Amino acid sequence: MKISYLGHACFVLEGNKKIIIDPFLTGNPMATKKAEEIEADYILVTHGHGDHLGDAIEIAERCQSTIIAPNELAVFCGQKGAQIHAMHIGGAHDFPGMKVKLTQAWHGSALVDDEAIIFTGNPCGFLIWMDDRCIYHAGDTGLFGDMEQVIGRNHQIDLALLPIGDNFTMGPEDAVHAAEWIHADTVIPMHYNTWPLIEQNPYLFKEAVEAKTKSKCLVLKPGESIQL
């Protein structure tokens, strides 16, 4: 499976199917691709904030792909014309070529503009099984105990994608604790350095993860990829 980092919390998984997660490309100063360059079978969206929903609806309509998201957010996308599959926390579903389960995430979920705030239900993380690999995208979240008691204990995770930016999500110290609890083979940091408010040194995070866990930590620059 090929894993590509497109900046912020956006990743593309290419294997049996092509998946894009949290496709915030337009307006993302770190993005290395434009929305019109993206092809995807499925679009996974963790929550309704603009830096995560991003270009999901436009990509879904152009590619005839399916948006997978928590129920209220999925319904909102469906009202805008996208093909959707609504899910909720703790639920799993077998899709052609992959399986997805929603995990909790401690955060918010709303579309905010100058005129209104539209709440879009609960945020989530994703466990994704494809090509005999398990990927955990934590979404925007603070540290929570079920990373150890449920996610880490009950699943063999090949790759964990963890936010480290602080202020809106876990900072590096809490993300190291998350890595200790999840026991993933590989950890990749995300959701940092997009704006000055969430600037972090990912290489210090890498050092701490590899000093305190058995996980390998990879720092990907936007546009870089790995094979898993």
pLDDT tens for each residue of 162-204 = 999 999 999 999 999 999 999 999 999 999 999 999 999 999 9
Predicted pLDDT of residue 113: 79
> Rounded to an integer, what distance in angstroms lies between the CA atom of residue 109 and that of residue 100?
20
What b/e sequence results for 103-131 when a residue is b if at least 16 CB atoms lie within 10 Å of its CB, and e otherwise? bbbbbbbbbeeeeeeeebbbbbbbbbbbb
Predicted pLDDT of residue 209: 98
> Rounded to an integer, what distance in angstroms lies between the CA atom of residue 7 and that of residue 31?
5
> Rounded to an integer, what distance in angstroms lies between the CA atom of residue 130 and that of residue 3?
12
Predicted pLDDT of residue 158: 98
Predicted pLDDT of residue 224: 97
Predicted pLDDT of residue 111: 87
* Of 45, 25, 41, 44, nearest in space to 33 by CA: 25
CATH code for the domain defined by 2-227: 3.60.15.10
Is the pLDDT confidence value at 216 over 90? yes
pTM for this model (two decimals) = 0.97
Q: pLDDT class for 130, splitting at 50, 70, 90?
A: very high
- Reading the block at residue 112, the tokens are 């905010």
Percent of the chain with pLDDT over 90: 96
Question: Mean per-residue pLDDT for 102-115?
Answer: 92
Q: What is the pLDDT of residues 27-74, one digit of tens each?
A: 999 998 999 999 999 999 999 999 999 999 999 999 999 999 999 999
Q: pLDDT class for 114, splitting at 50, 70, 90?
A: confident
Q: Do 45 and 60 form a contact (C-beta atoms < 8 A)?
A: no
